[in-house]
Amino acid sequence: MKFKNTSEFQSKIKRIIITEEEIQQKIKEAGKYIDSLYDGKPILLVSILKGSFVFLADLARAVSVPCEVGFMAAKSYYESTQSSGIVKITMDLERDISECHVIIVEDIIDTGRTLNDVVKLLNARNPLSLRVVTLLDKPERRIVPFKADYSLFTIPDYFVIGYGLDYGEYFRNLPYIAEYTD
């Protein structure tokens, strides 16, 4: 997908669902929640790339407990608005997590397949604790039973873009969450 100009790019934004201000407020609340759970104990925030990198950056700044950052990449969407149903780990953590309190930072839980597979993989590595914090949760789309430990927003079954979420690698730079229109 290529855009000829900004107008064509913006024509794909149907409407803003969650504003930048609403996102930032919920991130502050999530940071306080994480601080209360760990009470100064170091944590490892694991971003599932690419969609959660923006969320991870803001969440890391919202916590006051010591934290490290790690990255994994898992794909289930391939140039489409529908899940392929196949989850592939394309980049793994480069460290032992057996002495870490791990928080997986996810952009959106849709079918649950991706997070289910990532959680199984990381649990097998025996972290001190493992939790999932997600920016968006779409429970209507769940195929695999999965529930995050903390969700900032629950949304209906819209295809959404912005704040790290993309369509065809575009729209990640939007500071809000919007519904995409074809």
How far is residue 176's CA from residue 182's CA, in Å, rounded to a whole number?
19
Mean pLDDT of the chain: 91
**81: Cα separation from own chain's centroid:** 16
- Contact between 124 and 98 under an 8 Å Cβ cutoff? The reply is no
Average pLDDT estimate for 7-27: 93
What CATH architecture does domain 6-180 belong to?
A: 3-Layer(aba) Sandwich (3.40)
Q: Answer yes or no: is pLDDT of 34 > 70.
A: yes
Which comes out higher in pLDDT, residue 8 or 50?
Answer: 50
pTM of the model: 0.90
Q: What is the pLDDT, as a whole number, of residue 177?
A: 97
Give the model's confidence band at 8: pLDDT under 50 very low, under 70 low, under 90 confident, else very high.
confident
Supply the pLDDT for residue 176.
Answer: 98
Q: Which pLDDT tens digit goes with each residue over 71-129?
A: 999 876 544 555 555 677 899 998 999 999 999 999 999 888 889 989 999 999 999 99
Domain boundaries, the chain: 6-180
**In this prediction, what percent of the chain has a pLDDT beyond 70?**
93
Q: Determine the residue type at 84.
A: S
- The pairing of strands 88-91 and 101-109 is unpaired
Residue 152 and residue 164 in contact, taking contact as beta carbons nearer than 8 Å: no
pLDDT tens digits for range 40-74: 899 999 999 999 999 999 999 999 999 999 999 98
Give the active site residue among 110, 117, 137, 182. 110
Is 110 part of the annotated catalytic residue set? yes
Q: Is the pLDDT of residue 30 over 80?
A: yes
- Kindly state the average pLDDT of the residues 157-182: 94
